[in-house]
Chains A and B, each alone.
Chain A
Amino acid sequence: MTAVPNVSVGSGAAGAAIFPDSDSRRYRYFEPRAKRATHYEDVTVDVQPDPERYLLQNWIIAFPNGKGAYYKDATAALSSNWHAFRAPDQEWERTHYQRQSKIEGMVQSVIANGRKSGAPKAFDKSWVKILQTHLGAWKHAEFGLGTSLMQAQRYGYTQMINNATLTNSSYKLRLAQDITLYLAEIGMDIPGFDDNAGKHTWLEDKGWQGTREAVEAIMGSGDYLEQYFATNIVFEPLVGELFRSRFLMQVASPNGDFITPSVISAAEADYERNLANSIDLMHLLATDNQHAAHNKKLFQGWVNKHVALANKAAAGLQPIWSQPHSKPVQYADARAQSVERIKKILGELGLVLPKE
């Protein structure tokens, strides 16, 4: 036998030798959305296996009902190809931490600088009351949606769906915590600030019960896609943006508060990303070449259910618009903008807003 050296080329570097596939430097087991796979696709696609793709032996552990780790009927929606979805925000771990970390840095700087300049003491008195009761209550809504999406990210049929849901959950939970700590911090500068008023308002105040019911309806859904749909397609435009963008962001500064809009603004940008992800996924399903009719009917049902709850929630919040000392925005205008917004979103999906 001739002795052959173990490593014939003396290097482990790319290009040190030419042989079959010595230049095969792309993942070649999935079809990229565009000509070349994005970094997000490379680190995401097919990590969650599927018996219909490469899972040769099927799922090898089952629930007592015989279902494996992931199953298509965890949602009532149908798809001819669950693997087609790619999140438009292209989020993977590095971009997620970069973004979240920057937001946390920005929020903390704004709060610290505001407090240093004594800003909270200059807030209008009626506005302080609004922050402690209504922003205090709102943090629970964000938390509820965050935990609901944390639950939802267990069920999706592909890694792309579940990771988009996971990052959505992470954004919501971050915002809930940001608001909590923001209120606790400015509370130290404002004599008599009641940090517990928010939770009490959330649980007891009549005006907030519609919002709580709408959030609990999303949390209680057994269909992960309904949770994702209801959060981003219905609740956010009709209640989330209504309260954040069309009240807090606009009413704060005329009442001497330049801090709250900065804390809340990150959530608006979060939502733009989550909305883009949701619409892309729902659009794929609503135009599916085999199941479009089924899905559109299902989605319209979800719209009808959650819009009714969201309308009730919004109506319950209406009195808040008249509570600040300075009232630059009217509820009716804010509400009209919300309705316009959801109509546009639903229009993208071929769905209609039910009449009130």
Chain B
Amino acid sequence: MSGTLTLNKITAQRGISVGEAAKKIADLGWNPSYVQEAMTFPTDYKITKAPKDPMKQVLRSYFPMQEEKDNRVYGALDAALRGDMFRNVEPRWVEWMKLFLAIIPFPEISAARSMAMVGRLAPGEDLRTGFTMQMVDEFRHSTIQMNLKKWYMENYIDPAGFDITEEAFGKCYATTIGRQFGEGFLTGDAITAANIYLTVVAETAFTNTLFVAMPSEAARNGDYALPTVFLSVQSDESRHIGNGHSLLMSMLKEPENHLLLERDLRYAFWQNHAIVDAAIGTFIEYGTTNRDKNKESYAEMWHRWIFEDYYRTYMLPLEKYGIKIHHDDVQLAWKRLTDKRYVHKVGQFFAVGWSANFWRIEAQTEKDFEWFEHKYPGWYAEFGNFWKWYEKLSHRGQTNILFNGDVGYVYPHRCWSCLVPCLIREDIVTDEIDGKLHTFAHELDRWTAVNAFAGEYEGRPTPAMGRFSGRREWESVYHNVDMADAIKDLGFVRTDGKTLVAQPHLRFDAKEMWTLDDVRGHILKSPLETLRAMSPADREAHLAEYRKGFTINPCN
């Protein structure tokens, strides 16, 4: 006998191919004739060509595959505890997870909800299976991340901040940026939100920094749980990228979609950059204790993942379909990350506002300075004194850095579009919406709020497009309120009724921990309300001064 006899050869029976199975499943749908489905989430896009499902996966193989992935995740979490992970984990890192994990479950579940929107809009049934799996995936991501957060809360030295997580998400001046991101997935024009902003840009481009770069940094800080969970999450993303690309391809067929695609790719890329880079850049650069000079900086990773990978291989080829790609925007984002030190300014801003946070931020030290200077030449001259001040003012009895006139920091205006403050001071612009003055971090943010999120775009009616709403400037909620009262109202106080959840240090000692009394007596001001109250001349003078920036005073 030439071949070996195997069990498989004895028991094998004819089955249907994956392609055939996918085809049969795609035939489950039909066009209703008794009652039409309500088009409840409108779009200004026209989609006539049925998108194809590139993954050709069916639920029969999907569920066991996901269960197996889950088993590995939960097994790894158990192993991490048995290996006493928390004894060696870097608290500086875990503290930032209080912010990150407060934000991320909401964008995830928003993505699940948004699958309903694209599922109904996409003609044909082929891709509906893909959208179905993405819906269940996103449900997986949201609850697996909530579980991870609970696990940190149960095992990490300081659970405060984790214990109020979803409440904090709704209230914090930093999580407001994450809410802009998540709400962007499911509100407004269904295609703008669920296809371009979520899938084509956020998932295809920026999940690499979120779910690949960040886990690497976690591992460097002794945290093996986050990589386990998030790399498992990321393994679902390739299917989502396929869904997004397939729907995008079917929309490209309609020339009348091209103007909207240009608008939405521009808005989505810029806002993902502004939001994701602000948050993830800060976690990676400022949440780490690992200062290995051979590792990539966030800017270097961005260049690899976003510039080389996404921009060159995904965005650029769209030009051949007649879509205008704004190359300048990509270059501009890169310049903001390098020359204009965007991430560092965000890290500085979060640190200045530590007392209104719900996690601890530790001062950067000499060892950190050296690494920053190596990776970002000139960093020390701009930020060295600030972090020395921060360390000095981290002790109780000192004046809260947010209100300390000796430091020289000028509290920034908030961008009405991306909700990250206008930190690159020279780029601030203003405009009016419905007769009200607003501030923007960059001209592209102004364009997003004024031109893109409107009922008309370049002469074309866009009735389905969303609008910016709510009390978008966080600071205006607590305009003229005492800092201590604001923190109390936010609920960012420990259960003793006086100790702040946030602390400007990692000293796990009651005597060192700031209380409401330590921050009382300073009044919060809304920069926007203050600006609006000025005369036109004073306003211009103020903005001119703002654009000049500020200098941190030497700290001795």
Question: Quick check: is A166 within 8 A (CB to CB) of the other chain?
Answer: yes
Q: Mark B67-97, 1 if CB is under 8 A from A, else 0.
A: 1001000100000000010111111101000
In the docked arrangement, what's the CA distance between A139 and B154, Å?
Answer: 45
User: Per-residue 0/1 for B447-476: is the Cβ within 8 Å of any A Cβ (1 yes, 0 no)?
Assistant: 000000001000000011111111110100
Q: Which of B25, B30, B140, B166 contacts A49 (CB 8 A)?
A: B166
Q: Which of B111-170 contact A (CB under 8 A)?
A: 112-117, 119-120, 128-129, 131-132, 135-136, 139-144, 146-147, 150, 153-160, 163-167, 169-170
- With A27-B150, A150-B132 in contact, is A63–B70 under 8 Å at CB? no
Could you say which residues of chain B place their CB within 8 Å of the CB of A287?
Answer: none
Contact flag A46-B167 (CB < 8 Å), given A21-B159, A59-B470, A180-B24: yes
Asked whether A14 is an interface residue with its Cβ less than 8 Å from the other chain, the reply is: yes
B255-263, B273-281, B337-345, B491-499 - the one binding chain A: B491-499
Q: Per a CB cutoff under 8 Å, which of A21, A115, A212 touches B34? A: A212
Q: How long is the Cα–Cα vector from A212 to B38 in the complex, in angstroms? A: 17
Bound-complex Cα distance A7 to B84 (A): 18
A59 near B142 with CB under 8 A, answer no
A148 vs B115: C-alpha distance when bound (angstroms): 12
Do A150 and B135 have beta carbons less than 8 Å apart?
yes
Please measure, in the bound complex, the distance between the C-alpha atom of A178 and the C-alpha atom of B28, giving whole angstroms. 12
Given A14-B159, A54-B167, A54-B171, A162 and B63 touching (CB < 8 A)?
Answer: no
Query: In the complex, what residues of B have CB within 8 A of residue A195's CB?
Result: 24
Interface residues of A in 169-208 (CB under 8 A from B): 169-170, 173-174, 176-178, 180-181, 184-185, 188, 195, 199, 202-203
* Chain B residues whose C-beta falls within 8 Å of the C-beta of A177 in the assembled complex: 25, 28, 58-60, 129
Q: Which residues of A contact B362 (CB under 8 A)?
A: 6
Q: Residue A319 at the B interface, CB < 8 A?
A: no
Nearest residue in A to B365 (C-beta to C-beta)? A6
Cα(A218)–Cα(B10), bound, Å: 48
Chain A neighbourhood of B119, CB < 8 A: 147, 150-151
Are A60 and B179 in contact, CB atoms less than 8 angstroms apart?
Answer: yes
In the complex, chain A residues whose CB is within 8 Å of the CB of B455: 64
Contacts of A122 in B (CB 8 A): none
Interface 1/0 per residue, A206-235 and B, CB below 8 Å: 000100110011011110000000000000
Known: A29-B167, A105-B64. A170 touches B136 (CB 8 A): yes
* Proximity bits, A153-179, B CB within 8 Å = 1, else 0: 110000100110011011001101110
Q: Identify which of A15, A54, A57 contacts B470 (C-beta below 8 A).
A: A57
Which residue of chain A has the shortest Cβ distance to B154 in the bound complex? A25
Of the candidate stretches B183-191, B239-247, B312-320, the one touching chain A is B183-191
What is the 8 Å Cβ interface bit string for chain B, positions 317-330, against chain A (1 contact, 0 not)? 00000000000000
B27 — which chain A residues lie within 8 A by C-beta?
199
Q: Report if A275 contacts B (CB, 8 A).
A: no
Interface members, chain B 355-409 (any A CB < 8 Å): 362, 365, 392, 395
Write out the residue numbers on chain B whose beta carbons fall within 8 Å of the beta carbon of A24. Answer: 159-160, 163, 494-495
Q: CB-nearest residue of chain B relative to A4?
A: B507
Report the interface size class on chain B.
35 or more
Residue contact A219 to B35, C-beta cutoff 8 Å: yes
| A11-55 vs B, Cβ < 8 Å mask (1 yes, 0 no) | 111111111111111111110000000010011111111000111
Contacts of B156 in A (CB 8 A): 12-14
- Given A116-B11, A151-B116, A177-B59, CB of A20 within 8 Å of CB of B159: no
The verdict on A68 contacting chain B, using a C-beta distance below 8 Å, is yes
| A185–B16 CA distance with the chains assembled, in angstroms | 7
In the complex, A269 has a CB within 8 A of chain B: no
Distance to closest chain B CB from A170 (angstroms)? 5
Residues from chain B with a CB closer than 8 A to the CB of A61 are 180, 183-184, 187-188, 466-470
A-side contacts of B187, CB under 8 Å: 59, 61-63, 68-69
B392 touches A12 (CB 8 A): no
Counting chain A CB atoms within 10 Å of each CB, the highest count among B16, B84, B89, B136 belongs to B136
Report Cα–Cα, A314/B230, bound state, in Å. 48
Residues in A neighbouring B292, C-beta threshold 8 A: none
Q: Which of A105, A151, A217 contacts B120 (CB 8 A)?
A: A151
Q: Is the CB of A19 within 8 A of B509?
A: yes
Once the chains are docked, how many angstroms separate the CA of A178 from the CA of B21? Answer: 11
> Are A25 and B163 touching (Cβ within 8 A)?
yes
Q: Quick check: B506 and A7 within 8 Å, CB to CB? A: yes
* Bound CA span A222–B36, Å: 10
How distant is the Cα of A161 from the Cα of B214 in the complex, in angstroms? Answer: 32
- Across the interface, which residues of B come within 8 angstroms of A29, CB to CB? 163-167, 491
Q: Give the CA-CA distance A94 to B41 in the complex, in Å.
A: 30
The answer to the question of A129 belonging to the interface, with a C-beta cut-off of 8 Å to chain B, is no
Residues of A315-348 at the interface with B, using a CB-CB cut-off of 8 Å, are: none
Q: Given B38, B63, B146, which contacts A104 in the complex, CB threshold below 8 Å?
A: B63
Q: Shortest distance in angstroms between B195's beta carbon and chain A's nearest beta carbon?
A: 15
- A60 pairs with B472, CB closer than 8 A: yes
Instruction: From A95-103, A277-285, A294-302, give the one contacting chain B.
Output: A95-103
Collect the chain B residues with CB atoms within 8 Å of residue A22's CB: 157-160, 508
Instruction: Tell yes or no: B6 within 8 A of A by CB.
Output: no
Residue B510 CB within 8 A of the other chain:
yes
Chain A minimum-CB-distance residue to B182? A69
CB-CB under 8 A from A8, the residues of chain B are 506-509, 512
Asked if B477 is at the interface (CB within 8 A of a chain A CB), the reply is: yes
Give Cα A24–Cα B493 distance, bound, in whole angstroms.
12
Question: Any chain A CB within 8 A of the CB of B436?
Answer: no
Q: Known pairs A57-B176, A147-B128. 11 more at Cβ < 8 A?
A: A1-B395, A8-B508, A16-B157, A19-B508, A47-B109, A48-B109, A69-B186, A93-B70, A185-B15, A216-B33, A220-B38
The 4 closest A-B pairs by CB, nearest first: A54-B170, A220-B35, A101-B67, A154-B116
- List 26 A-B residue pairs with CB atoms under 8 Å apart, sorted by A's residue number: A9-B157, A9-B508, A13-B84, A22-B158, A22-B508, A23-B159, A42-B146, A48-B109, A56-B471, A62-B467, A64-B467, A66-B469, A69-B110, A115-B13, A150-B119, A150-B131, A153-B112, A154-B116, A163-B139, A166-B136, A170-B136, A174-B59, A176-B25, A176-B28, A188-B16, A220-B32
Interface, chain A (partner B; CB < 8 A): 1, 4, 6-9, 11-30, 39, 42-49, 53-64, 66, 68-69, 92-94, 96-98, 100-101, 103-105, 107-108, 112, 115-116, 139-140, 143, 146-147, 150-154, 159, 162-163, 166-167, 169-170, 173-174, 176-178, 180-181, 184-185, 188, 195, 199, 202-203, 209, 212-213, 216-217, 219-222
